[in-house]
Amino acid sequence: MGFGAIFSKLGSIIGSIIFIYTILEQWFPSHLRKYRDIFLSLMYPFIQITFHEFSGAYLKRSDAYTMIQIYLSGNTSQKAKRLKAEVNKDSHTPLVLSMDDNEEITDEFQGVKLWWVSKHTIMKSHSFFYPPTDEKRSLTLTFHKRYRDLVIGPYMKHILNEGKAIRVRNRQLKLYTNNPSSDWNGYKSRKWSHIVFEHPATFETLAMDPKKKKEIVNDLEKFKAGKEYYAKIGKAWKRGYLLYGPPGTGKSTMIAAIANFMNYDVYDLELTAVKANTDLKKLLIESSSKSIIVIEDIDCSLDLTGQRNKKKKEKGEKDKAEDPIKKAEKEEEDKDSKVTLSGLLNFTDGIWSACGGERIIIFTTNFVDKLDPALIRRGRMDKHIELSYCGYEAFKVLAKNYLDIESHSLFHIIEKLLGETNMTPADVAENLMPKSNDEDSESCLQVLIKSLEEARKKAEDEEMQLKAEKMENL
């Protein structure tokens, strides 16, 4: 039976009921009308549920309405004859199609047919505070009463979950940075500012050992599907990653690849712009779920070790002999941030870290030995990932990315040199990148070989010089 035939039959049934209702209204005595109403309710087999666009005293947009609208747009709007198009800047598909006003479509769930109607009414408003016209939109679901439990339970849960999933898949990722704490007081002040996150890095283009890459991907997949598991073990749904290694080994690129793989927003936390531990908690509360909070070069961000008090004592003795004006300026600088190691530990693993779920916290450092062991222990930084110098497998990924080649007669020379020389993936990539239209893949590989040979010779010279100095000291 087609869509039009179903509604024609439904209209005929409703028309008959209205006719019977009119007769009963005229002839039923008033004291028997309650029985009439019971009779009519038994005759009408359908239930309707209406979801209004705005609800509550402050006319807040309904989350249920939004999720249902997204679900209908993604799953059933192809059945509608009349569609409306809207531009959504926060989506990968900026032109979003959905049911037009007063359009009707059908849906099916576990063999049960359901009817959705998009309603749009314009009412005159006499309020002094609102415009003269008031637009109201709603979505109405109609279904047979025998399926009440199925619709109110599994079907509505399916719609809301699917709507959330579609919104996450289609959303445009954002890169956030925290505004200085001193700027938080004021009208429309915000703790975070953001831009669109458009970094193209993926695990496919990431230059690292394939086995190590696969291990990280498996860990991320396990975490993403771990909501029930984390609840079962009584642990906040978050995970910490420590990325460490020499400069140029791909720590920032790894973060971008994780964000694109997980479809998470990135919050780049600048600790020097945070005044106190309480402000750190406020930033955490203002961040969203499905996000990555990043503190890059954490060893350089703040003095978070027990050496701080020692340094302050030494500085105080030195300042006694300094100019009073310069001393005042330095004291003002010292007031900029009073974030402590304890505050950062609570931020990453304290009770406040449980606000919001599905969150990854990443620290990066070039010098892992400088960090306080309490900051990077398991449970805070659950997985430690060393990003080291470029190996042969990582080189092959870069050759594919930059030169679009998977093999070459010069590869065996490069493999030997990479085994003898420390060169970061960033340096290898720079040597592989063509600098003019005249350069081909072979010339770029020759440039890399020359650079590796120079690096090897430099390392050998430094080693010989170091040995000579040791001999002199004997």
Q: How far is CA 333 from CA 206, 238, 272, 328, 342, in A?
A: 40, 34, 11, 9, 21
pLDDT given for residue 189 in this prediction: 73
CATH level 3 topology of 175-302+337-386: Rossmann fold (3.40.50)
pLDDT given for residue 17 in this prediction: 59
Domain ranges of the chain: 1-44, 51-170, 175-302+337-386, 392-473
Can you tell me the distance from the alpha carbon of 102 to that of 142, in angstroms, rounded to the nearest whole number? 14
Phi and psi angles of residue 194, each rounded to the nearest 5 degrees, phi first: -145, 160
Q: How many CB atoms lie within 10 A of CB 98?
A: 17
pLDDT given for residue 24 in this prediction: 56
Q: Which of 88, 241, 268 has its CA nearest to residue 166? A: 88
pLDDT given for residue 336 in this prediction: 59
The whole-model pTM stands at 0.72
Residues 102, 120: contact at Cβ < 8 Å?
yes
Residues 179, 270: contact at Cβ < 8 Å?
no
Per-residue pLDDT of the chain (474 residues; tens, 9 = 90+): 554 555 556 556 655 655 565 665 565 566 555 655 565 566 678 889 999 988 765 567 788 888 888 888 766 556 666 666 665 555 556 556 667 777 888 889 999 999 998 888 876 655 554 444 467 888 999 999 899 999 999 999 999 998 888 887 778 899 999 999 888 876 567 889 999 999 999 999 999 999 999 999 999 999 999 999 999 999 999 999 999 999 999 999 999 999 999 999 999 999 989 988 999 998 998 898 899 999 999 988 766 554 444 444 555 555 555 555 555 555 445 545 688 888 888 888 888 777 778 999 999 999 999 898 988 988 889 999 999 999 999 999 999 999 999 999 999 999 999 999 999 999 999 999 999 988 999 999 999 999 999 999 999 998 899 888 888 877
